Structure 1
Amino acid sequence: MSSKLGAGVTRTDRLLSDARTIRYYDTAGQVRATADKREKGEQPGIGELRLDPLVNEWVAMAAHRQGRVFLPPKELCPLCPSTGENLTEVPEDNFEVVVFDNKSPSLRPPQGDWALPDMAGPDTDTGTAAGKCEVICFTADHGHAFKDLSTERIRVLLEAWMDRTRELSKEKFIHHITPFENRGEEVGVTLAHPHGQIYAYSYIPPKVSRMLEVARKHKERTGKVLFDEIVAREIKDEERIVAQNKHWVAYVPYAARYSFEIHLAPKVSVADLSELTTEVADAYPAIAKEVLQRLDGVFDIPMAYIAAWHQAPVREGRDLLRLHWQITSVRRAPGKLKYLAGSESSMGAFIMDLRPEQSAAQLREVKLT
């Protein structure tokens, strides 16, 4: 099954041997007809959802993930295109961008009607870990990183993120969607191939819940959207801006928690990826590439990072929260990482090792090639 999307992208859906769906995002009229030649495997069952009553936060139990593949050599990479010697998650021998259902998901679609258990403190019922986890491969080239992609490929990737946000939002059990990329062993990456993930939650994640609470109180008090005021302040102050173009601005936030933390936001605010206009989406690839090149250029070494899209929940707070891309690196200096130790891990109280203005200056001073 094929469908036309924006930016000249065609999406083609196929089934893998175990009935999971793989979606190809192409721009050159490719025909996707290669069958998955692997033997049919069993998919894991759905995990548990338990409430931590001390903070009223849901925790997913996914013990089956302990057995997933860990840093295989390139010739055995499960995210590369299939060859005669290595049958992978992608049956085709080449691809642009692909998205497929995770083989070892933390969250799974539920069977039948589903509802989140009512919160009742320590007596809260155990629920099922409903949701959806997808893998998105940025390129068939094992040796590349996001910053190495062409702007044309980054635009295809953005179109895929937009498409998945639109489609996953239609599921009644989905309440929040977060596309993200983990890069580097320092942040727990288990596969070296350039890829990201998309988590679609059946509940509002703790950080989003807190952001929603703060944004709601701010609007009740001022009548204004908090994030819009934050972006306006960064543009006005200028000194923490890393890069900008007509439609996007990248900055180190005023109260950054990591030595190298960059937020990238559209100047005309939207609730989520699905609301980006074609003009704004077309302006994203160049600045996204520049930001990640600057991050790698600070110490002339690949920077481990987590890059996550923050957006409004599917069914609430869409007038309060705004789309933006948060990139946080655990690197604070060559050979030194930012560990979340006593204060950060036990109390959630961050202590910054570098003033945000200094970090922004270092990022701006990187000479791009």
Structure 2
Amino acid sequence: MADSRTPEPPQTLGAGVVKRPTRLADGRELIYYDDPDTTLGPERGVDAREATPRPATATMRRDVLTGDWISVAAARQNRAFLPPAELDPLAPQTPTNPSEIPSRYDVAVFENKSPSFGPELGDGAAADPAPRGLGLTRTSVGRCEVVCFSPEHEGSFGTQSRTRARTVIEAWADRTAALSALPGVEQVFPFENRGEAIGVTLAHPHGQIYAYPYVTPRTQTLLASIDREGPDLFDRILEMERASERVILEGEHWTAFVPFAARWPLEVHLLPHRHVADLAETTDAERDELAPLYLRLLRGVDALYDSPTPYIAAWHQAPVRHGRESARLHLQLTSPRRAADKLKFLAGSEAAMGAWIGDIPPEASAARLREAVASVPEVLS
């Protein structure tokens, strides 16, 4: 029988990024994405750890008051919490650190060991979108992946080089396409949590990708808004925002702005100028521009204060099967930081009732962000 860890043939993607799929000892997928100017050789080490059983796929419970599905994934309680650098589970393996990644790498993507969804996949049959009754449960099928931006112990997307950022974007697009094709997956969500104030448990520069077995509540609300406002909603939003004083950065293919009704003290949306449903639909030219523009935006956010700003960078993508002709790919970057030493906590009105109160006028936030971004040099390398 062939070893399941035998590497598959490499594949050259956009921008000269090379994809090298393989497997970990327990059968989980691991994919290396090599920079076009990589100094790494083609060989990758084999995961020499003893194969251990993966946790059983979690179960979802339906909240009958809202219709939301809640995945109860108890195995996540065992995940690493702020380990020292010498025990970083996302660093390349060493004799004293049996981490998740056997070799040196540029960018690496692997299946989460203790996922919120999966590893079991669905049978391809669509679930009832509006079931009725109390005590309803479903299996939490799907996939959760970790995206390592760098082998370094500390950093974030914004600390990467232009070339490395482009490699990560290529990996996001490639994984969006692959995960969207899995049976039972209804929506794919790449994101980065940055900072302990957000709840990050690893300092290593990384993000995640969730492949959900349902359309998320936030996206269901978006689709309802599109039904109400019209299928050209994103075109009209972009036209309004580009004519406003809330624009932060603008390129040939992308515009970043503070939205008209921003909820968070720091909130920026980044939209492509043409309609694309997800990252897999973007062109090489759009990805090429996104890398330096997104880096400059993140570095501008960090230029606001003397210390790095915590944030959630959420790539909202259209569902796999519904609304793709009108729900546009976009980034929503949000931070609870409302001053150098103050955070916005969701309490009372926001947390309990979903009724938001903005602390900072969006125009004032945009002015500060424009000034901060202007202080950051263009990203040339």
Deviation track 1:74-98 (CA, whole Å, cap 9, x = no partner) reads: 1110001112221211100x21111
Please list the CA deviations of residues 191-246 of structure 1 after superposition, one character each: whole Å capped at 9, or x if unmatched.
11000000000100000000011112222xxxx41111111111111x10111111
Are 1:117 and 1:127, in contact at CA under 8 Å, matched by a contact in 2? no
Equivalent position SS for 1:287: helix
User: Is 1:218 matched up with 2:229?
Assistant: yes
Contact 1:182 1:305 in 2 (8 A): yes
Residue 301 (1) aligns with residue 301 (2): no
Question: What is the CA-CA distance between 1:298 and the residue it aligns to?
Answer: 0.8
Q: In structure 2, what is the equivalent of residue 85 of structure 1?
A: 96
Aligned partner of 2:20 in structure 1 is 12
Quick check: 1:182–1:196 contact (8 Å CA) kept in 2? yes
Q: Secondary structure at the match of 2:16?
A: coil
Q: Does 1:361 align with 2:367?
A: yes
Q: In the TM superposition, what is the alpha-carbon distance from 1:336 to its structure 2 partner?
A: 0.7
- The list of structure 1 runs, each at least 4 consecutive aligned residues, that deviate by more than 2 angstroms after superposition, is 27-30, 109-125
Instruction: Determine if contact 2:145/2:210 at 8 Å carries over to the other structure.
Output: yes
Residue 365 of structure 1: SS of its match in structure 2?
helix
How far apart are 1:118 and its partner, in Å? 6.6
Q: Secondary structure of 1:253's match? A: coil
Which residue number corresponds to residue 286 of structure 1?
292
Partner of 1:97: 107
Report what 2:5 is aligned to: none
Which residue is 1:156 aligned to? 167
| Range with bigger deviation, 81-90 or 116-125 | 116-125
Could you tell me which residue of structure 2 aligns to residue 138 of structure 1? 149
Amino acid at match of 1:167: A
Determine which of 195, 198, 202 is the counterpart of 1:191.
202
With normalisation by structure 2, the TM-score equals 0.92
Conserved? CA contact 1:46–1:107, under 8 Å: yes
Structure 1: state its 5+ residue gaps.
none
2:32 to 24, 37, 40: 24
Match of 1:244 in 2: 250
Q: Is the 8 A contact 1:176 1:200 kept in 2?
A: yes
Aligned to 1:232: 239
2:122 and 2:183 in contact (8 A); partners too: no
- The whole-number CA distance in structure 1 between the counterparts of 2:366 and 2:128 is 44
The total of aligned residue pairs comes to 363
Larger mean CA deviation between 25-34 and 337-346 belongs to 25-34
Q: Does 1:351 align with 2:357?
A: yes
**Cα distance in 2 between the residues matched to 1:235 and 1:300:** 30
For residues 26 and 183 of structure 2, the distance between their equivalents in structure 1, rounded to whole angstroms, comes to 24
What CA deviation, in whole Å up to 9, does each residue of 1:233-291 have, x standing for no partner? Answer: 11111x10111111111100000000111111111221111110111111001110111
**Residue deviations 1:63-121, cap 9 Å, x none?**
111111111011110001112221211100x2111100001100004366365367443
What does the per-residue CA deviation read over 1:158-182, in whole Å, with 9 as the maximum and x for residues that have no partner?
A: 0000000111111131110000000
Post-superposition Cα deviations, 1:293-343, rounded to whole Å, max 9, x if no partner, equal 111111121000000101110101001100111100111101111101000
Residues 32-51 of structure 1: pairs in structure 2 closer than 5 A: 32-51=43-62
Unmatched segments (≥5 aa) in structure 2: 1-7
Aligned match of 1:58: 69
3-state SS in 2 of match to 1:36: coil
Q: Which residue of 2 aligns with 1:110?
A: 120
1:365, distance to aligned residue in structure 2 (A): 1.1
User: Residues 152 and 179 (structure 1 numbering): CA distance in 2 closer, same or farther, change over 3 Å?
Assistant: same
Q: What amino acid sits opposite 2:192 in the alignment?
A: E
Root-mean-square deviation (CA), in Å?
A: 1.4
Matched, 1:265 2:265: no
Given that residues 60 and 140 in structure 2 are in contact (C-alpha distance below 8 angstroms), is that contact kept between their aligned partners in structure 1? yes
Q: Indicate the SS of the match to 1:264.
A: strand
Cα distance change of structure 1 residues 14 and 368 upon mapping to structure 2, 3 Å threshold: same
Structure 2 counterpart of 1:201:
212
2:219 aligned partner, one-letter code: V
TM-score, scaled relative to structure 1: 0.95
Instruction: Report which stretch shifted further, 263-272 or 314-323.
Output: 263-272
Distance 2:309 2:129 in 1: 42
Cα distance change of structure 1 residues 114 and 285 upon mapping to structure 2, 3 Å threshold: closer
Q: Distance in 2 between matches of 1:114 and 1:49?
A: 18
Alignment-derived partner of residue 337 in structure 2? 331
Alpha-carbon contact 1:117-1:126 (below 8 Å) kept = no
Which residue of the other structure, out of 140, 154, 162, is the alignment partner of 1:129? 140
Structure 2 residue corresponding to 1:165, chosen from 176, 182, 195: 176
User: Structure 2: how far apart are the matches of 1:307 and 1:228?
Assistant: 22
CA contact (8 A) 2:57 2:141 kept: yes
Q: 1:284 to 1:111 in 2, by over 3 A?
A: closer
